[in-house]
Copies of this chain bind each other. A is one copy, B any other.
Amino acid sequence: MRITDETVADGVREQLFMLGEIPGALWTPADAVGPRPLVLVGHGGGQHRKGWEVTSRAIPFVQQCGYAVAAIDAPGTGDRPEHPEVRRLVATIQAGEAAGEPRGPEWRALCDVVAEELVPDWATTLDALQQLDVVGSGGPVGYYGLSQGGEMGFRLVPAEPRITAAVLGLIGSEWLLEPASRITVPVELALQWDDEGNPRDAVLALYDALGSVEKTLHANPGGHFRVPMFEIDSAVRFFARHLGVAPVA
């Protein structure tokens, strides 16, 4: 892991890193010493590891719970190289959306292409992070991801036994029903009641399919991008309940 940039603000240390070809970011308390819970944040489609949707979650997780929080760019985004197949599929999807057409097979194809690289990259990243003194191995690990970050979470969480709690949502892909049934860790699932691309019935079906004993659905009115800010606070408490809170240095 090669640190390419480091800044400290508001008590939070942000380190950008490259792990082989994987561009990542790590946020920790500025005075962090010793192991602590880790939360992985998966960004949404077309976004990247330093986008507002990521940092708006990462900063409170660090400030309020003392966690380490990490994000990595998905293939074809952020500081990753151009990815012709991702580019082609996104262009086709966006053209369809502009024409008001329903989602075609390109959406699943895009998710499959991204996941094929991203899921193993998360495992590689988790391996490396757990070597750090401020993370440590064997501690609790959470995953947070909405929209395409939720799509990836439904694939990653059942495949990664180190993840012990997850906030997912804003996704209703029918092909996630099977992996959802293999998720057994506590889940908080976000549903936007008027989500244009993820009908409520599809998200409710995913909630129903989850194999977890503890699973909570949080529905709110409005479209895909209208998740209320108080749901960030809810995620903080969800992780605090399941991962614990870090000892103060």
Interface residues in chain A, defined as those with a beta carbon under 8 Å from any beta carbon in chain B: 191, 193, 204, 207-208, 213-221, 228, 230, 233-234, 237, 241
* Copies of the protein in its oligomer: 2
User: Within the complex, what minimum Cβ distance (angstroms) separates A193 from chain B?
Assistant: 7
CB <8 Å contact, A216 and B215: no
CB <8 Å contact, A213 and B221: yes
User: Within the complex, what minimum Cβ distance (angstroms) separates A230 from chain B?
Assistant: 6
CA separation between A169 and B230, bound complex, in Å? 20
User: Within the complex, what minimum Cβ distance (angstroms) separates A237 from chain B?
Assistant: 7
CA separation between A241 and B232, bound complex, in Å? 14
CB <8 Å contact, B217 and A219: yes
User: Within the complex, what minimum Cβ distance (angstroms) separates A228 from chain B?
Assistant: 7
CB <8 Å contact, B241 and A214: no
Q: Which residues of B contact A220 (CB under 8 A)?
A: 214-217
Residue of B191, B214, B218 near A228 (CB, 8 A) is: B214
CA separation between A83 and B207, bound complex, in Å? 43
Q: Which residues of B contact A191 (CB under 8 A)?
A: 217
Q: Which residues of B contact A216 (CB under 8 A)?
A: 218-220, 228
Contacts A216-B220, A217-B217, A220-B216; is A208 near B193 (CB within 8 Å)?
yes
User: Within the complex, what minimum Cβ distance (angstroms) separates A195 from chain B?
Assistant: 14
Contacts A207-B219, A220-B216; is A233 near B228 (CB within 8 Å)?
no
A-B contacts, 26 listed (Cβ < 8 Å): A191-B217, A193-B207, A193-B208, A204-B204, A207-B219, A213-B221, A214-B220, A214-B221, A214-B228, A215-B220, A215-B221, A216-B218, A216-B219, A216-B220, A216-B228, A217-B217, A217-B218, A217-B219, A217-B220, A218-B218, A219-B219, A230-B237, A230-B241, A233-B237, A234-B234, A237-B237
